[in-house]
Amino acid sequence: MSTEHGHDHHPRPDSELALRARALEALLAEKGLVATDAIDAVVELYERDVGPQNGARVVAHAWTDPAYRERLLADGAKAIAELGFVGAQGDNLVAVANTPSVHNVVVCTLCSCYPWPVLGLPPTWYKSPPYRARVVAEPRAVLGEFGLELPDEVEIRVWDSSAEVRYLVVPMRPAGTDGLTEEALRALVTRDCMIGTAVPQTGSR
């Protein structure tokens, strides 16, 4: 298979799928079963309120408050709830911390389980066959595609999520960030840092 193909290459045209999706929504609206405004509300929830900005707040807080970090690593779900982040697909959230000797990376080989309350909806690559097939079997090659090279002595731990247990990676705080406020630290914590396919970068890199 060519590596040139994109993730959205598939034989059925979007126009036909869009029509089918519109028809299903219209049918359920006509039957009075699924409300148009309920669909709007759920779409908005994940486009506006729930996304990686939530996870970045959790991580930056853990970087600046050692007691919070301890609570986060002991009971992830309870600790994210302290900051107001709760909900579907985060019930049994486990936070795993990177250290100088351990790097964590998260996948769901069977479907697309992901810690929604802190990261929102997963990117397409996370849900697609290449990542799900490969990261458990050749993690360094996959991380290399993301531009992440780790020393040989670092143990990579791949967490294969389930519907009941989801993972959030707590990356290491980069050196040279002692003077930054918690708010400024949040900007360093990207989505991929919390999946484990990247590590936080400071401006000097």
Partner 1 sequence: MDGIHDLGGMHGFGAVVAPGGEAPYHERWAARVCALHMLVELERLGARPGGRATREEMDPVDYLAASYFERWLWSAEQGLLRKGTIAAGEVEHMMERLAAGGPEPPPHRDPEQAARAVERLREVVPMQPATRPRFVPGQGVRVRRMHPAGHTRCPRYVRGARGVVERVRGAEELPDLAVYERDAPVEPVYAVAFGSDELWGRGEEPPWTVALDLWESYLEEAE
The binder of partner 1 chosen from 53, 64, 97, 157 (CB under 8 A): 157
The binder of partner 1 chosen from 65, 70, 163, 187 (CB under 8 A): 163
Q: Which is nearer to partner 1, 83 or 156 (CB)?
A: 156
In angstroms, the CA 20 to CA 92 distance is: 35
Q: Which is nearer to partner 1, 18 or 187 (CB)?
A: 18
88 binds partner 1 (CB under 8 A): yes
Q: Which stretch binds partner 1 (CB under 8 A): 55-63, 84-92, 172-180, 181-189?
A: 84-92
Considering the complex, what minimum distance in angstroms separates the CB of residue 180 from partner 1?
26
Residues in the chain: 205
Q: How far is CA 17 from CA 20, 24, 180, in A?
A: 5, 10, 47
Question: How many residues of this chain bind partner 1 (CB under 8 A)?
Answer: 92
Q: What is the DSSP letter of 48?
A: I
- The DSSP result for 122-164, as a single string, is PPHHHHSHHHHHHTTT-HHHHHHHTT----TTSEEEEEE--SS
- Residues 9-48 vs partner 1: string with x where CB under 8 A? -xxx-x--xxxxxxxxxxxxxxxxxxxxxxxxxxx-xxx-
8 binds partner 1 (CB under 8 A): yes
**Residues 46, 121 contacting (CB under 8 angstroms):** yes
Strand blocks (E) in the chain: 93-97, 102-107, 155-160, 166-170
In angstroms, the CA 87 to CA 109 distance is: 22
Interface positions, 90-149, toward partner 1 (CB under 8 A): 90-92, 94, 109-112, 117, 120-125, 127-142, 145-146
Q: Which is nearer to partner 1, 91 or 172 (CB)?
A: 91
The binder of partner 1 chosen from 73, 83, 97, 165 (CB under 8 A): 165
Residues classed as catalytic:
108, 111-113
Tokens coding 43: 């779409």
Q: Which is nearer to partner 1, 67 or 88 (CB)?
A: 88
